[in-house]
Amino acid sequence: MTPEKFAQIKKSIESAKEKKARAEGALAKIEENWKKDFQITTIEEANEKIKELETEIEDGKKKLEKQYEKLESVTDWDSV
């Protein structure tokens, strides 16, 4: 192995270590935000929270539709 090849490999390793450290820092920041905003700390908890929020959205849509139907039934739209 030539000294140049060794230096190139060493530089590649250092670059990979730096990228790993940045990625770990970004992941830590994301997890910190999850904990602060949603009180979750893992991917599994995030998936559960997503399901919970999707259910709440669907329930809200159903309530909105019922209210809209009720409004339609009590309003004389020809006179509006």
The pLDDT tens digits of the residues spanning 26-57 come to: 999 998 998 999 899 888 998 999 999 999 99
Query: Please, what is the average pLDDT of the chain?
Result: 92
Residue 28 has what pLDDT?
92
Buried (b) or exposed (e) across 38-69, using 16+ Cβ within 10 A? eebeeeeeeeeeeeeeeeeeeeeeeeeeeeee
Contact by Cβ (8 Å): 31, 41: yes
- 55 shares its domain with 34: no
- 47 shares its domain with 69: yes
Query: In terms of residues, how long is the chain?
Result: 80
Residue 76 has what pLDDT?
75
- Domain count for the chain, please give it: 2
Could you tell me what percent of the chain has a pLDDT over 90? 71
What does the longest C-alpha to C-alpha distance in the chain come to? Answer: 91
Residue corresponding to tokens 């250092």? 14
- Domain interval for residue 58: 42-73
Residue 12 has what pLDDT?
96
- 46 shares its domain with 32: no
